[in-house]
Chain A
Amino acid sequence: MTEKRLLITGPNGAGKTNLLEAIELLGSLRSHRCSRDSDLIHWNQERALLRALSCEDETLELELRRKGGRQAKRNEKVLSRQFDLIGPLRCVGFSSLDLELVRGQPALRRQWLDRVVQQLEPIYSDLISRYSRLLRQRSQLWRRWRNKPANERDAILDAFDLQMALVSTRIHRRRSRALRHLQPLVAHWQKMISNGKEKLELVYYPGSKLKGEEAEEPWRLDIQDQLLDQRLDEERLGSCRVGPHRDEVGLLLNGLEARRFASSGQQRTLILSLKLAELDLVEQMSGLPPILLLDDVLAELDAKRQLLLLEVAGEKHQCIVTATHLDAFQGEWMRESQLLETKSFSSKGSVG
Chain B
Amino acid sequence: MPGIGPRTAQRLALHLLRQPEERVRSFADAMLAAKSQVGQCQKCFHLSADPICEICRNEGRDSEFLCVVADSRDLLALERTKEFKGLYHVLGGLISPMDGVGPEILNVSSLVKRVDADDVDEVILALTPSVEGDTTSLYLARLLKPFTKVSRIAYGLPVGGELEYADEVTLTRALEGRQTLG
Contacts of A159 in B (CB 8 A): 95, 134-136, 138-139, 142
Q: How many A-B residue pairs have CB under 8 A?
A: 56
Contact A158 B96 (CB under 8 A): no
B131 to A126, Cβ gap below 8 A? Answer: no
Asked if A141 and B138 sit within 8 Å, CB to CB, the answer is: no
Q: Which of B97, B103, B161 contacts A141, CB < 8 Å?
A: B97
A162 contacts the other chain (CB 8 A): yes
- Fill in one digit per residue for A121-143: 1 if any B CB lies within 8 Å of its CB, else 0: 00000100010011011101101
The answer to whether B161 and A80 touch across the interface, beta carbons within 8 angstroms, is: yes
Q: Is B169 interfacial (CB-CB < 8 Å)? A: no
Which B residues are CB-close (under 8 A) to A81? 158-159
Among candidates B96, B97, B131, B136, residue contacting A130 with C-beta atoms closer than 8 Å: B131
Whether, in the assembled complex, A348 has its beta carbon less than 8 Å from a beta carbon of chain B, the answer is: no
A137 B96 Cβ-Cβ under 8 A: yes
CA of A241 to CA of B103, assembled, Å: 26
> Interface on chain A toward B: helix, strand, loop, or mixed SS?
helix
- CB pair A160–B98 under 8 Å, yes or no, is no
Does any Cβ of B come within 8 Å of A148's Cβ?
A: yes
**A155 at the B interface (CB under 8 A):** yes
**Contact digits for B73-116, partner A, Cβ 8 Å, 1 yes 0 no:** 00000000000000000000001111010111000000000000
A152 interface contact, C-beta 8 A: yes
Chain A residues at the B interface, C-beta cutoff of 8 Å = 80-81, 126, 130, 133-134, 136-138, 140-141, 143-145, 148, 152, 155-156, 158-160, 162-163
Question: Which residues of B come within 8 Å of A, CB atoms?
Answer: 95-98, 100, 102-104, 131-132, 134-136, 138-139, 142-143, 158-161
9 nearest CB pairs, A to B: A159-B138, A141-B97, A140-B98, A80-B158, A140-B97, A133-B131, A159-B135, A159-B139, A137-B97
